[in-house]
Amino acid sequence: MTDRSTTLEARRVLVGISGGIAAYKVCSVISSLAKAGVAVRAVLTQQGQAFIPPLTVATLSRHPAYTDESFWQAAQGRPLHIELGEWAELLVIAPLSANTLGKLAHGLADNLLTNTVLASTCPVLLAPAMNTDMWQQRAVQRNWHQLLQDDRYHSLEPGSGVLACDRIGTGRMAEPEDILIHIHSLLHTRGKRDLVGQHLLISTGSTREFLDPVRFIGNPASGKMGIALAQAALHRGATVTLVHGPLDDSLTARVGGMQAVGVTTAEEMHLAMLTHLPQASWVVMAAAVADVKPATQATTKLAKADLPGALPLAQVPDIVADLAQRRSPHQRLIGFAAQTGDIVAPALDKLQRKGLDAIVANPIDVVGSGFGGDRNQAVLLTRSGDKFAIAPCTKLSLAHQLWDALLRVGF
């Protein structure tokens, strides 16, 4: 299952750059999009040009940049803001200044960027950036919340940290990687929020079962697939609770906007999933949970000579089977099956044996799929007999295709 929405190639993104030192970050976004084959156009406000020259943006986007000077020059055919507004599949404003925010919130248009927004109907992704005191002003917050009442607008809330003014607080523009992930989501969904009202409980990553403080039984699962599922659901309007095993710092930074619960062992994951089960409408068990644990755990590091020649093992909780027993009739339960060889037959057996509504089978013995990478492929199987094969793609794209398929069959 694949279509044009699963790739960035030949998509059309218009980037608006308003005033702020965070404008330098958007250069990376524009460059990455252009390298991926996206047709990128950029509009700079007069204040935006004070931070980034149009020549820089034009070079990175492989297309002349637009400014207010372009807007007011003698018309060559149709008005420029109309042409750009109709051309764009997605409009990204990064950084969004307090000034531009105020104009958009009140429907004002006195430059090329704001006129183009009003002349377009595509989704708009907003990435604000400003000083903490500016962001926290009642007027700015009022404008922000008023603007987000319009379904066209999608937000990347500013983060916290050291700002360019040396203040420590909220106001940092989202990082380029986060902006790119959200762009990919919006190009796939075209701005639909078809998971609004759903609360998704998702597990991801591996668990670790310790023999002593430094040795454990585990597996190579990184958590990337579950995080992609969570991000895709969040971008589609869902409320998300993510229960995750140990993550790299780069992945920990991707769990913004959702409730994230960190665990280490299978028993901890079991407890966390049961704790959050009552609020969930969909439960997705994407974590690679250890099947066994050492029968005993030493409190201090064992010397090499003291390691047992044969390691006695004990069972860990079967989390997904327990969830199937405890869930309410309205809750949907989706499992994952990482397999080698034939991936479908074992997944079908697990689907029936564990009492799941659907299962996602993915190969871990195929180059470019499985644990640790950024790409994957899968076969989705449902209890009602539906079968969807998803070709190799990014894990974020696979996540969106899974949500598409599940919604299509009436989950």
| Residue 371 maps to a domain | yes
| Residue 303 maps to a domain | yes
Check whether residue 175 and residue 143 sit in a common domain.
yes
* Tens-place pLDDT, residues 53-68: 999 999 999 999 999 9
Average pLDDT over residues 24-34: 97
The pLDDT, as a whole number, for residue 347 is 97
Q: From CA 303, how far away is CA 298, in angstroms rounded?
A: 11
Of 147, 171, 189, the residue at which a domain comes to its end is 189
Check whether residue 166 and residue 245 sit in a common domain.
no
Check whether residue 184 and residue 220 sit in a common domain.
no
The pLDDT, as a whole number, for residue 51 is 96
The pLDDT, as a whole number, for residue 166 is 76
Tokens of 387: 């079968």
Position 123 confidence tier, pLDDT thresholds 50, 70, 90: very high
Alpha carbon distances (Å) from 176 to 154, 181, 183, 243: 16, 9, 10, 25
Lowest-confidence range among 70-84, 256-270, 302-316?
A: 70-84
The pLDDT, as a whole number, for residue 5 is 46
Predicted confidence (pLDDT) at residue 36 exceeds the cutoff of 50 = yes
| Residue 114 maps to a domain | yes
The pLDDT, as a whole number, for residue 348 is 97
Ranges of H-type helices in 307-408: 319-326, 344-354, 395-408
Which one is catalytic: 27, 122, 165, 393? Answer: 165
Per DSSP, the residues of 54-73 read: HHHHHHHHTS--B-HHHHHS
The pLDDT, as a whole number, for residue 75 is 57
Check whether residue 145 and residue 203 sit in a common domain.
no
| Residue 152 maps to a domain | yes
Extended strands (E) in 98-225: 124-128, 153-155, 159-162, 168-172, 199-204, 209-212, 215-217
Ranges of H-type helices in 176-302: 176-189, 224-235, 249-252, 266-276
Q: Which domain holds residue 132?
A: 4-189
The pLDDT, as a whole number, for residue 159 is 86
- Closest to 42 measured CA to CA, from 31, 184, 9, 10: 31
* Tens-place pLDDT, residues 264-300: 999 999 999 999 999 999 999 999 999 999 999 999 9
Q: What is the pTM of this model?
A: 0.93
Predicted confidence (pLDDT) at residue 1 exceeds the cutoff of 70 = no
Check whether residue 244 and residue 366 sit in a common domain.
yes
Check whether residue 222 and residue 346 sit in a common domain.
yes
Position 161 confidence tier, pLDDT thresholds 50, 70, 90: confident
Average pLDDT over residues 131-151: 96
Where residue 337 sits, what CATH number does that domain have?
3.40.50.10300
Predicted confidence (pLDDT) at residue 389 exceeds the cutoff of 80 = yes
Predicted confidence (pLDDT) at residue 403 exceeds the cutoff of 50 = yes
Number of domains in the chain: 2
Q: How far is CA 58 from the centre of its chain?
A: 28
| Residue 41 maps to a domain | yes
Percent of the chain with pLDDT over 90: 88
Active site residue 393: no
Of 159, 189, 219, the residue at which a domain comes to its end is 189
The pLDDT, as a whole number, for residue 7 is 65
| Residue 302 maps to a domain | yes
| Residue 289 maps to a domain | yes
Check whether residue 184 and residue 251 sit in a common domain.
no
Say whether 250 sits in a helix, a strand or coil.
helix
Top pLDDT among 75 and 9 is at 9
Tokens of 141: 């917050």
Of 189, 215, 245, the residue at which a domain comes to its end is 189
Position 165 confidence tier, pLDDT thresholds 50, 70, 90: confident
User: What rounded mean pLDDT belongs to the chain?
Assistant: 94
The conformation of residue 206, written as its DSSP 8-state character, comes to B
Count other Cβ atoms within 10 Å, centred on residue 200: 25
Torsional sign, CA 127, 131, 133, 137: negative
Check whether residue 167 and residue 266 sit in a common domain.
no
Q: From CA 259, how far away is CA 240, in angstroms rounded?
A: 6
* Tens-place pLDDT, residues 212-226: 999 999 999 999 999
Predicted confidence (pLDDT) at residue 390 exceeds the cutoff of 70 = yes
* Tens-place pLDDT, residues 333-368: 999 999 999 999 999 999 999 999 999 999 999 888
Position 6 confidence tier, pLDDT thresholds 50, 70, 90: low
Check whether residue 78 and residue 226 sit in a common domain.
no
The pLDDT, as a whole number, for residue 78 is 86
| Residue 194 maps to a domain | no
Where residue 40 sits, what CATH number does that domain have?
3.40.50.1950
Q: From CA 33, how far away is CA 82, in angstroms rounded?
A: 23
Contacts for 328 with CB less than 8 Å, ≥ 6 apart? none
Position 2 confidence tier, pLDDT thresholds 50, 70, 90: very low
The pLDDT, as a whole number, for residue 25 is 95
Check whether residue 182 and residue 223 sit in a common domain.
no
Check whether residue 28 and residue 172 sit in a common domain.
yes
Average pLDDT over residues 8-34: 94
Position 3 confidence tier, pLDDT thresholds 50, 70, 90: very low
Check whether residue 75 and residue 208 sit in a common domain.
no
- Closest to 232 measured CA to CA, from 358, 359, 373, 397: 397
